[in-house]
Every structure is written in structure tokens, then in C-alpha cells.
Amino acid sequence: MNENLTIDGLEYRIRRSPRRKTIGVTIDRDGSLILHAPLDCSQDTLISFGREKSFWVHTKLAERELRFRRRRPHEYVSGESFYYLGRNYRLLLVDPDPENPEAPPLRLHEGRFKLARTERDRAHERFQDWYIVHGQPWIERRVGRLTNRVGASPEAVIVKDLGYRWGSCGSNGAIYIHWCTLCLPPVTIEYILAHELVHLLQPHHDEAFQMRLEQILPDHRARRQWLAEEGGKYT
């Protein structure tokens, strides 16, 4: 039976366990709030705990909203800035090469992103495709470096559009990484990858998850804070 509780406007799912001795709160990967409680914990006690943790919960939810606080929409004009692995590259619109009709519509060449002028109406899709094609092997190599440290290996690594999430860990053992992640500096990408790899072992953001992540990246809190405050500027 599902048990829900609203505390000061926040909706929580209650998960009770006979092994649980204390109350805890976690924010699940989809943003849902979960109160972990002993079987005999009263509703009044849960409400009191929820109010005590209200500031922490609101802070964490605000961090999630900041993750994809985007800049103004791209116009895809020459001189506009685009990021790749934390570095800033300018866009140059170019005429198609009649001698090379098979040339890719978008490429990173000579320190610039070069987009065929005829593809400007499809520029967003062209950039997304470019980041996925070029980012997939880069992400896979970085995951390979982390798997021994984490102690878990994903069934697959998939770069795709994830909406407002930087990454996710599927129940099928695969990890999914947003293509926009490739815009971020490598040190921040490493945090996202480690975060999702740890989810293969610890599905919830509980104490065990935090301890495991800290063993792998002792400065993970600083990296998470940077991502929350600055990540949206890179997309």
C-alpha cells in the first residue's frame, strides 16, 4: 500500500522498513521526495521530522532547478559561442563545398564549429547529433576509467536527450547521459558519471550512496555545487 504525506506543501512518499531504526529523507532521481521510516513511526513524528528538514529539502530542490537554467536560446549565427568539454568555440556559417557534397553539415575544425549555411534551420538537431556521435566514445572511455574505482560496470552507456536531467541510471543496468553534458568541463562530467555509476550499487540518495560517492570523489560536494550554480550556462 502506497503511503503519502504532505508536509508544508511538499509531497512525500513514505517507505517503512522493519530494519529501519531512524527517519531519513532522500530525493529520488526523478525529484520525488521519500521519507524512510520504521514500521511503528507515527504520522506526527514524520511531520515533525519533515518540518525540521524543510530547509534542506528546499535547498536540494532549488539545486535541481538550477541545473538546466539555460542561457538565452541559440540563434545559430556566425560568432555565437558553443561549448565542448568546457572550452568555448565560435560558430562560423559556411557555404557547402560543391567539390565535397558528402561533407558533414557540422564539424569542429580549426578551432571553430562550422555549420553549412543551408542547415541553419536544422542547426539544433545538427548540434545534438554532433555531440551524441562525438561524445559517445569520449563518455565510454571515461566510464571505463571509473568502473574499477566504483566497483560496478554498466550494461550500456547511452548518450541522448534526457530533458532536465544530466544523467540517469536505468533499472536495466544502463546509464544514460544527456548530450548537453559534453558541453561541461571534464572534471564536472566525471562527477556526473561517477554519480550514475554509484547508482548501480545504491539506487537512492541515502547515506550509503553519499559514502560510496565520497570514497570515489572526495570533492564530489564541491563539484555538485559548481554544477548546480554554473552548469546551465554551458548548455
Looking at residue 75, its pLDDT comes to 92
Closest residue by Cα to residue 77 from 65, 63, 66, 91:
91
- The 10s digit of each residue's pLDDT in 36-90 is 999 999 999 999 998 888 877 877 776 666 555 556 788 999 999 999 999 999 9
**Single-letter residue type at 103:** A
Looking at residue 63, its pLDDT comes to 65
pTM reported for the whole predicted model: 0.74
**Residue 174 to residue 167: CA distance in whole angstroms:** 11
- The 10s digit of each residue's pLDDT in 120-157 is 999 999 999 999 999 999 999 999 999 999 999 999 99
Task: Please determine, for residue 30, whether its predicted confidence score (pLDDT) is greater than 90.
Answer: no
Computed on alpha carbons and rounded to an integer, the radius of gyration of the chain in Å comes to 21
Residue 20 pLDDT class (50, 70, 90 cuts):
confident
Task: Please determine, for residue 117, whether its predicted confidence score (pLDDT) is greater than 90.
Answer: yes
CB atoms within 10 A of CB 119: 17
Looking at residue 42, its pLDDT comes to 93
Looking at per-residue pLDDT, the higher value among 30 and 214 belongs to 214
Task: Please determine, for residue 102, whether its predicted confidence score (pLDDT) is greater than 90.
Answer: no
3-state DSSP assignment of residue 126: helix
**Residue 91 to residue 113: CA distance in whole angstroms:** 5
Task: Please determine, for residue 205, whether its predicted confidence score (pLDDT) is greater than 80.
Answer: no
Looking at residue 196, its pLDDT comes to 94
Looking at residue 99, its pLDDT comes to 76
CATH of region 124-234, choose from 3.30.2010.10, 3.10.180.10, 3.90.1150.10, 3.40.50.1100: 3.30.2010.10
3-state DSSP assignment of residue 125: helix
Looking at residue 31, its pLDDT comes to 75
Q: Where in the chain are the domains? A: 3-67, 124-234
106 close to 127: Cβ distance less than 8 angstroms: yes
Give the list of residues 6+ apart from residue 124 with CB closer than 8 angstroms, or none: 74, 76
3-state DSSP assignment of residue 69: coil
- The 10s digit of each residue's pLDDT in 149-204 is 999 999 999 999 987 788 888 889 999 999 999 999 999 999 999 999 999 998 87
